[in-house]
Structure formats: structure tokens, C-alpha cells
Amino acid sequence: MPLIPLSGFARVDEKTHSAIFSEQQDFEHEDVGESEMSVEEAAIPIDQLIPFPHEHHMTLGQELIHIFSPDIIFVFDVGAGELMKAALSQRVLAVGVVRNSAHKMMVMGILKDYVKGLNLVNFGEGAPAKPSALVSFEQDWATSSTAGWSADTAETTPQKRKADNNLI
């Protein structure tokens, strides 16, 4: 299983790190002792922190998904979203539990960048515009749904239904 290089971990500023772990008590890991700083650690800017340094690489998640073939995954320790990225890459539904809104914003940003990097979704200005027929349908639907819809108004002629089906 490949290790995540230190440069590959998600990094946040101190304010975001404090917001994510605001409700958690400070504690020291007994298995992590004091050691010299590595060259990789020295390359990280002083104002950047790695909030989840013990997270596994997404390939472990991909292997587990491949072996067990789940329909849905519940992730109770989302971390920086490596298992969520594995679920996206394997086209499996996943539900993740985050610590708070700051953690959610961080994970959603990472997942958005991951999806954008794979060119699965176009978030840029070059995204195709909605067809005008779809926009008018949505506007008509929004106004008709708030204008007291009844079963009498739902009845339409076959010609009207055919015309409506051509819009979609």
C-alpha cells in the first residue's frame, strides 16, 4: 500500500485547524515521540498544518471497495477525505460524518478539487449553459407549483403532453 508523501497531505492554516478541532481535547499520541525534522517536513511552510497525518491513502479504500463490493459506505472518520475520494473513483455512494462546519468546508474543497482534476465536472466559466427550453420549463413549473396546483389543472390533452415532452 503506497504511503501518502508528506507533500500530498491536505494542509490548512492555523485558524482553520483550530476551527476543526475546537471541540476536541488536546492529547499526545503515545506512539509518536519527539524526532528530528525531515527534509519533507522542513519544506512545509510554517503557517501550514497537516490536520490528519495518520490517514491512509485512497488506494486502500479502492482495494476494500473492490474486494467487498459495497453499495454504500458510511465513513465515521472522514479525515481529509481520502476514503471519500476512493468512493468517488469507484462510483460507490458514500456518507461521511464530519466534525463541524469548518471540517466540512475543508473536505468539500478537497473533493471538489479532486473531481475537477479528473474532469468529471466542469466548474469553470466554460460550463455549458442550460437550454432556454429547460429554463422556461423550470420557471413555469416554479410558478405553477406555488399557484395552487390541483388535480383539475393536471389533466392535459395528448397534444399538450407531446409538446411538453419535446421540451426535455
Query: 14-28: per-residue pLDDT in tens?
Result: 777 677 777 655 544
Q: Which three cell numbers stand for residue 137?
A: 420549463
In this prediction, what percent of the chain has a pLDDT beyond 90? 22
| One domain for residues 36 and 78 | yes
pTM score > 0.75 for this model?
no
Please state whether beta strands 72-75 and 93-96 pair in parallel, antiparallel, or not at all (unpaired).
parallel
Mean pLDDT of 51-65: 85
| One domain for residues 106 and 141 | no
In this prediction, residue 27 carries a pLDDT of: 46
Query: Residues, the chain, total?
Result: 168
Contact 13, 47 (CB under 8 A): yes
73 backbone dihedrals φ, ψ, rounded to 5°: -120, 135
| One domain for residues 32 and 103 | yes
| One domain for residues 48 and 93 | yes
Rounded-to-5 percentages of helix, strand, coil across the chain:
50, 5, 45
Contact 32, 57 (CB under 8 A): no
